[in-house]
Structures are given as structure tokens and as C-alpha cells.
Amino acid sequence: PRYKELGLIRASYQVFKNEGELVLYCEHLQTVKYNNPADFVGKTEK
């Protein structure tokens, strides 16, 4: 993200059919606004 008050989260989803048969896997990247950006200074990946 371009702004210090924003970050990225990654959510992954798996859908199974029957006994452990994976039929869908996806990942979503979403930009979110920090509640308190000062808590994450120096703790985020670039």
C-alpha cells in the first residue's frame, strides 16, 4: 500500500468435497485501514 495507515491482509479459502477432496482453493488480498497505524511502525513487510 502507498499509505502508512493502510495494510494488506491475505485470506485463503478451501472447499472440500467428500473425504478430503479439494475442489476449490483461492486467496484474496485486501487493503485494510489500521485502527492505530502507530502500532505497526516497523512491523510490516515490504
**Which has the closest alpha carbon to 25: 33, 16, 34, 35?**
16
3-state secondary structure the chain: CCCCCEEEEEEEEEEEECCCEEEEEEEEEEEEECCCHHHHCCCCCC
Q: Are strands 6-17 and 21-33 parallel, antiparallel or unpaired?
A: antiparallel
pLDDT tens per residue, range 1-46: 577 788 888 999 999 998 889 999 999 999 888 888 777 777 666 5
Whole-model pTM?
Answer: 0.49
